[in-house]
Structures are given as C-alpha cells and as structure tokens.
C-alpha cells in the first residue's frame, strides 16, 4: 500500500472519530467550532510556515470558494451533532459521508464519463448507506 493511501485511511479514521467524540463532549456547535479552529490554527501554523510562498501562485477564487463551502459545511455539521442520540449521530454521519463522497464521484463522472463500474459503485454506495443507516 502506498503512502498516500495510508494517509487517506488515517485521515478517514480521524475524520470518522472526532464527530462521535464531539457528540459526547457536551459542547454546542458554534463554541466547539471556534475552539476547534483555534486548536487547529495553533497545531497547523508550524507546518504552514514552510509553505507560505504558495500564496503568490494560488488561484484565490478557488481558495475562497473552498473556505466558504468548508465553513458552511462545518457550521451546519457542528450545529447538528450536539444533542443527537449516540445511534442517531452515527446514522446521520453515514448519510453525511455518503453525500460527501458523492461530490468527487460525480465530478469523476463529469470528467471521465459514466462507466458500468462507476454506476455499480453508485448503486452499492446507496445500498451501503441504506444498510448502514
């Protein structure tokens, strides 16, 4: 298994774990988001300092779009998680993940066309969401 796949699996494990921990924390959505942003900022800034020169070549239209869509998603998500029952949080998280993976999958179809394999993938993903949720 190559390094990129291992990193994406690890990212998935952490992205899949933190909302479940957040659900049990007792914090409300906007407070959690603000604290998470501060902690993330402190933890990421040393790594970001090594990449500061990339701001010159960045396409800021896409960067701002990413900031805005990411922020909207985080605010909606973090204001939904508090107060959910443990089982409900898990089930809704599966639905959110299925919606999330659909975006790059549809983008792949737009860029490369719909194949039988991709169509089967969509069908099985839908089935997985129904069975897991």
**What residues does each domain of the chain span?**
1-83, 86-133
Please report the pLDDT score of residue 93 as a whole number.
85
- Match 């919606």 to its residue by tokens: 99
**CA dihedral of residues 73, 106, 2, 13 (deg, nearest 10):** 30
Residue 58 contacts residue 10 (beta carbons within 8 Å): no
What pTM was estimated for this model as a whole? 0.80
What pLDDT, in 10s, does the model give residues 40-96?
Answer: 999 999 999 999 888 889 999 999 999 999 999 999 999 999 988 888 888 888 888
pLDDT at residue 1 above 80?
A: no
């Amino acid at each position: 298994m190559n390094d990129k796949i291992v990193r994406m699996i690890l990212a998935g494990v952490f992205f899949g774990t933190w909302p479940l921990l957040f659900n049990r924390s007792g914090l409300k959505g906007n407070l959690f988001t603000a604290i998470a942003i501060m902690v993330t900022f402190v933890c990421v800034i040393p790594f970001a300092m090594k990449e500061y020169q990339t701001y010159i070549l960045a396409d800021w239209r896409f960067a701002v779009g990413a900031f805005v869509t990411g922020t909207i998603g985080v605010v909606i998500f973090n204001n939904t998680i508090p107060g959910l029952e443990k089982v409900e949080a898990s089930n809704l998280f599966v639905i959110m993940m299925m919606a999330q993976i659909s975006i790059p999958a549809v983008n792949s179809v737009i860029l490369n066309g719909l194949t039988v394999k991709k169509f089967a993938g969509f069908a099985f993903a839908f089935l997985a969401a129904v069975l897991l949720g």
